[in-house]
Chain A
Amino acid sequence: MDPKSAQADAYWQANLRIIKISLVIWALVSFGFGIILRPLLSGIPVGGTDLGFWFAQQGSILVFLGLIFFYAWRMNKLDREFDVDEQ
């Protein structure tokens, strides 16, 4: 593998790692806290109901927002680190 494609490969692997971490959090707050793990969170009261209900109707959306902005910021930085950003 020539150095240029090794560099491209490292960039892509780094991107995949960021996506994987983000999607684990994405699934945890929605499918996890909002749905499947809701019974486990039933002991934590939030405004007349439990934390799982809050995650299903508000929390997951707020976390999604955070994830997309984190990804945009991190990837735009990664582009510069690997010198593949747009000029």
Chain B
Amino acid sequence: MDQYTLNLIVVGLSFALYIGIAIYSRAGSTGEFYAANRGVHPVMNGMATAADWMSAASFISMAGLIASVGYDNSTYLMGWTGGYVLLAMLLAPYLRKFGKFTVPEFIGDRFYSRSARIVAVVCLIVVSVTYVIGQMTGVGVTFARFLETDTTTGLLIGSAIVFLYAVFGGMKGITYTQVAQYIVLILAYTIPAIFISLQLTGNPLPMFGLFSEHTASGQPLLTTLDQIVTDLGFNQYTGSTDSTLNIVLFTMSLMIGTAGLPHVIIRFFTVPKVSDARWSAGWALVFIAILYLTAPAVGAMARLNLIETIYPGNGAVEETAIVYEDRPEWMRNWETTGLLTFNDLNGDGRIQFYNANNAAYAETATQRGWQGNELTVNNDIMVLANPEIANLPGWVIALVAAGGLAAALSTAAGLLLAIASAISHDLIKSVIKPDISEKGELLAARIAMAGAIALATWLGLNPPGFAAQTVALAFGLAASSIFPALMMGIFSKRINSSGAIAGMLVGLITTCAYVFAYKGFLFIPETNILPDNPAGWIFGISPASFGTIGAILNFAVAYFVSNATEAPPREIQDLVESVRTPRGASAALDH
């Protein structure tokens, strides 16, 4: 059976499974559509949260990001997992006790203000729409590489599948599909990693293999990797070159941004009890950690494999590189996608791969007759090409295709639900037509979902050129606007509506301003007013790290404005009191 047929069968089977779940779990009420009737087991919810949270970026790109830089990109590992500690202790149990359906609803009720709710809806939509673009393009790319369709067809098939289970099943359908998608994606991620770890170190667990002896060179894997990358003029893999301040602020932005993402928070509304919400956050991190502990091993091992393919030899880089005509099959496969390109600058028919931007290394390169780096490798290949590099059987390659699609579709569905419920529940039910019936609201939610899918598909087909950069903005906004408002709403009785609104606006505006100042207004090239490089950044703080500063400004402004104006009314203080105490959470079920 050829690879294409195998890919088609495995991906087809995974889709059949998702459709089966869609038919089985249709939502009959708004409670089911928004929160799966709060009947999801905490372990199940943990699994669904893991799939909801781990996007195409986590599955496809993260290991490559770590591989290309090394230690400095540990920020992603700590940031994207550390946020769950904040979620578990500062937000999830209390918001579950509050017992409503959306994140803006809490902000609106706690700060007794429709304006606060609308500001929160705006933040939610900006964050979630930005995020969904990346998922849709991920679906298109995976289809194009593994199923030989064009990107448009792939995207339309993906959207149709999401439509089936999200429009009919709402949160209920999404939850059980996400559980299935988690299983597909985690198998697809770990199986190739286990084989690669065995081949390089003899240790079947990648998280231990990373710190084990590299069989071929007889010394620790990371020592070998440090040697061969520095021999090619790259920065040491385990060393650090970024400023410590920027690393700290970026990690913090990712942490509080993660905790403030509405599509993740609403997953915790689906469990029966407050105590379940606490356990569930732990289970979510267990399922996430299986991938996140494997990713740095995948990154380091893929980098080592790549360099050793180009410079065959036992760990030490030899001056003679591989002849282009003798390159392995997987390099030929990926060349056709354009994610791997070779340009024979010195015309010797061999592949020279090194850091041509390192001035200190230029002399060595010239002596060897190298006239520039001849191979460019897109980071995303590190995960997607792994099974081919390790010579694994065809079904593993097919599984990786299904895994990439599962990661992108599960996150897209969670985001679309957050958007749809904000529109039907926070705008239509609360502002535009408060007397809408239960059935009417359910219909509105389904229509909003269909509309959100159409918008996401359109954005996936016509991705704005700035799609990749906007992810920094999404985390920055979640960190600087949503997270502080939620936390202050729970942990302070003194913060009032003026304080919260002023805080959110300041967080939102300063973060947008800082990002736009370096990246260009609305990311339009050439409209940036300051140079986007470490020397141009204020105190060396990169635009992606500014979320932390925005959050600090939000907290400070909310505190001072609230203290200068009058305290919230008695019933709001009682509301805070009740959110802090678990008893009575299940009573809020039939709200």
Q: Which residues of A are in contact with B by a Cβ distance under 8 Å?
A: 8, 11-12, 15, 19, 22-23, 26, 30-31, 34-36, 38, 46-50, 53-54, 56-58, 60-62, 64-65, 67-69, 71-72, 75-76, 79, 84-87
Contacts and interface: CB of A to CB of B under 8 A. Distances in A.
A64 B82 contact: yes
Given A8-B577, A72-B279, A86-B585, A57 B210 contact: yes
Contacts of B77: 56-57, 60-61
B235 to A, nearest CB: 14
B247 interface: yes
A65 B74 contact: no
Given A79-B582, A86-B584, A49 B84 contact: no
| Chain B interface SS verdict (over half) | helix
B285 A86 contact: no
A69 B583 contact: no
Nearest to B299: A57
A72 B85 contact: no
Given A36-B244, A68-B85, A84-B581, A48 B222 contact: yes
15 contacts: A11-B580, A23-B89, A26-B82, A35-B247, A36-B248, A48-B221, A49-B222, A57-B210, A58-B207, A61-B292, A62-B293, A64-B81, A85-B582, A86-B274, A86-B582
A84 B84 CA distance: 24
Nearest to A52: B71
Contact of A47 (B84, B221, B274, B275): B221
A11 B238 CA distance: 45
Contacts of A8: 577, 580-581
Contacts of A86: 273-275, 582-586
A23 B219 contact: no
Interface of B: 66, 71, 74, 77-78, 81-82, 84-85, 88-90, 93, 207, 210-212, 219-224, 226, 238, 240, 244, 247-248, 251-252, 273-275, 278-279, 281-282, 285-286, 289, 292-293, 296, 577, 580-586
Contacts of B580: 8, 11-12, 15
B85 to A, nearest CB: 5
Contacts of A47: 210-212, 220-222
Contacts of B74: 34, 53, 56-57
B219 A48 contact: yes
A67 to B, nearest CB: 6
A7 B274 CA distance: 19
Given A36-B248, A71-B89, A65 B286 contact: yes
B85 A31 contact: no
Given A56-B78, A72-B278, 18 more contacts: A22-B89, A36-B244, A48-B219, A48-B222, A58-B293, A60-B78, A62-B293, A64-B85, A65-B282, A65-B286, A68-B89, A68-B285, A75-B93, A84-B583, A85-B275, A85-B583, A86-B583, A87-B583
B9 to A, nearest CB: 35
Which among B88, B207, B212, B281 has the highest number of chain A CB atoms within 10 Å?
A: B88
B211 A54 contact: yes
**Candidate in B89, B212, B244 with the most chain A CB atoms within 10 angstroms:** B89
Contacts of B90: 19
Given A8-B581, A86-B274, A35 B244 contact: yes
Contacts of A12: 580
B71 A30 contact: no
A35 B85 contact: no
A53 to B, nearest CB: 5
